[in-house]
A = this chain, B = another copy of it.
Amino acid sequence: MKDHDESEYFSPDLSDRERATFEIGIKLGALYHLLSGVPISSDQKIIESIEKGFEASITCQPYVKSVKLNIIKDKIVGDKSTELDYDEISGEKIKVTVIIEYKSIRVVAKIEWIEKLQYPLMFIEKIEEL
């Protein structure tokens, strides 16, 4: 039922490279907003479970080859020493690398907190022809 081609909906003067960067933008925007506000503590097992859960999820999206999510432990305040002592995921704790392949184009993109911008930047690190 989902074997139709979606390319007819796209502007015909879009290159494969442009389509590929569009696709990886979608994944970063989605992941960032899925992660925002997720409860977390500094317990290593908790962090890893959450990382693996979101990696598994984003891997389901179109053209994704790999997702490596790293929630930065040093920025998590809260080890559950009291009931209220935990944290939640936000931009400055997110570090992720996503790789997609669209046709012959491979793109590597990241979300990373940039101190001097004070901003969780989404950027394309590499784009190449396979």
Chain A contacts to B: CB under 8 angstroms: 1-4, 6, 9-11, 13-15, 17-19, 21-41, 45-46, 49-63, 78, 80, 82-88, 90-91, 109, 114, 116-119, 121-127
Would you call A91 and B88 a contact (CB within 8 A)? yes
User: How many copies altogether?
Assistant: 4
Q: Closest 5 A-B residue pairs measured CB to CB?
A: A53-B53, A25-B25, A36-B37, A29-B29, A49-B56
Chain A interface secondary structure, helix, strand, loop or mixed?
Answer: mixed
Closest residue of B by beta carbon distance from A55: B49
**Shortest distance from the beta carbon of A100 to any chain B beta carbon, whole Å:** 10
Which of B22, B30, B62, B118 interacts with A124 by CB under 8 Å?
A: B22
